[in-house]
Amino acid sequence: MQAALSWLPAHHEEIVRGLADLVAIASISTDGEHTAEIERTAKLTCDQMRDAGLQNVEVLRVGNSLPYAYGEWCEAGPDKPTIFLYAHHDVQPVNYVEQWKSDPWKLTRRDGRLFARGSADDKAAISAFLGAIAAYRKTSNSMPVNVKMVVEGEEEIGSKNLMKFFDVYRDKIKSDVIVVCDTENIEVGLPCITYSLRGIVQVHVEVKTAAIPVHSGMAGGALPDAAIALNAILGKLYWSNGPVPIPGFYDGVRPTTDKERAVYARLPWDDGKFRDEVGVVPSARYANETGTTVYEQTWRKPAVTVVAQEASSIKGVSNQVLPTAVAIISCRIVPDQKPADVLKSLQEFLTKDPPWGAEVIVKPHGKVSWWMTDPNGPAFESALSALREGYGRDAVAIGSGGSIGFVGPLAELFGGAPALLLGIEDPASNAHAPNESLHEGDFKKLMASLVRLFDNLGKLTPAQVK
């Protein structure tokens, strides 16, 4: 292990160049216009896997999916655990281009951070995994564990083929421990393991009042305005600083324990820094329930967000009464909410007593299950120890307001394999936003922690990691 740990700083610039090559490809999966780039990123990921020392490297597909990159090293033997490493090579589009301070497709060092689209979410995970693997393979030509690595190309569009991929390739990817680096550390320098994730129930809402738009001079004030009707419906969701006012919305929600609240209260939270980094307007207050911390609200409470709304184009504005308006509403759900019950409550709430009797159509628009595990046991202890040594600071177990839908089903597929979700982002990473970045110091510490994690897990048998 010591030789591997020494290899990392000596070859850090080489690892950064590999990340720079990855982010240089605009592998955007959300618009359907960058298929060629996603193909290129999958191929490059495979090339980097081979260079790091993985074997049986190939591009895999299932049905008409975008490409997955796969590689493995399974020579540690059957008495050593097999570690499943997951990352994704697709990225979000570059929005608000005018706010980027450097080329989003060129990895740029600035203020101790590496800026580019995908630098944190999630191409850094590819580089971190391969850096730790290479550190072993290029020093001892061996590893203390078996490794199977999958890098997906569809995560940013909901991993729509991932469960089918797992089913088709279940024998190929079968492992004892899952490691994912696609979550957050709550502050720079503080290593975090995520043990709970919120799920998603999403709906498409359409409001109709007529078949065609009508000149507002002829019909304004008489013909019901679909845009106003939609906004009146959405306005019913306003919760001030109390519970979301949807009847039945909180049915089944697992209460936060006093022990969890005590842990949340001890975690660092810099209110001023957060407001500055996000650019919260001075007059705005937080929306969380009175008496609830931001951590409890975003990790253990359900939420409702309007993620898209459309009635007409500002650019093509015309004096018309609009006949239709649409929105997409995303509900983050928590243990033990049932997606079907949340969907039913939301549909009933949004369609009840519509303004002017407008027609309201609410259709399901996707769902992701919540996940929660017990952050104890040999695998978690191995990870906590590795992070403590790698960062020089005790790691903490945290929740997340985000969703990674495959974690629970994959753990089940692997017979109850523990899932270790190690932070790679931080509050300043701006994933999905302008000036996305990776803290370079924490990037180094994470790779050193992964080297130690492989060593710690290698001291256990497959049966002992659970």
CA–CA separation, 338 and 263 (whole Å): 26
Residue 285 within any structural domain of the chain: no
Instruction: Give pLDDT, residue 185.
Output: 96
Instruction: Give pLDDT, residue 273.
Output: 87
**Whether residues 260 and 405 fall in one domain:** no
Count each helix (H run) and each strand (E run) in the chain, helices first: 15, 18
Instruction: Give pLDDT, residue 173.
Output: 98
- The SS3 assignment for 227 reads helix
Which residues lie closer than 8 Å to 375 by C-beta, 6 or more apart?
193, 195, 397
Residue 290 within any structural domain of the chain: no
Torsion over CA: 354, 358, 364, 366 (sign): negative
Query: Phi/psi zone of residue 312: left (φ > 0), alpha (ψ -120 to 50 degrees), beta?
Result: beta
How many structural domains does the chain have?
A: 2
**Whether residues 93 and 232 fall in one domain:** no
CA–CA separation, 71 and 147 (whole Å): 8
**Whether residues 225 and 345 fall in one domain:** yes
Q: What is the pTM for the complete model shown? A: 0.90
Q: What are the mean pLDDT values of the chain's consecutive 10-residue runs (466 residues total)?
A: 98 98 97 96 98 98 97 98 98 94 98 98 98 98 98 94 96 98 96 96 98 96 98 98 96 93 92 88 96 95 96 94 98 96 97 98 94 94 98 95 92 96 95 96 98 98 94
Domain containing 177: what range? 2-197+370-465
CA–CA separation, 28 and 40 (whole Å): 12
**Whether residues 191 and 46 fall in one domain:** yes
Q: Which two tokens stand for residue 47?
A: 């090339």
**Whether residues 352 and 397 fall in one domain:** no
Residue 143 is part of a domain; what is its CATH number?
A: 3.40.630.10
Q: DSSP label at 256?
A: P
Residue 47 within any structural domain of the chain: yes
Q: If we measure between CA atoms, which residue out of 9, 5, 6, 69 comes closest to residue 40?
A: 69
Residue 304 is part of a domain; what is its CATH number?
A: 3.30.70.360
CB 184 within 8 A of CB 400: yes
Instruction: Give pLDDT, residue 395.
Output: 96
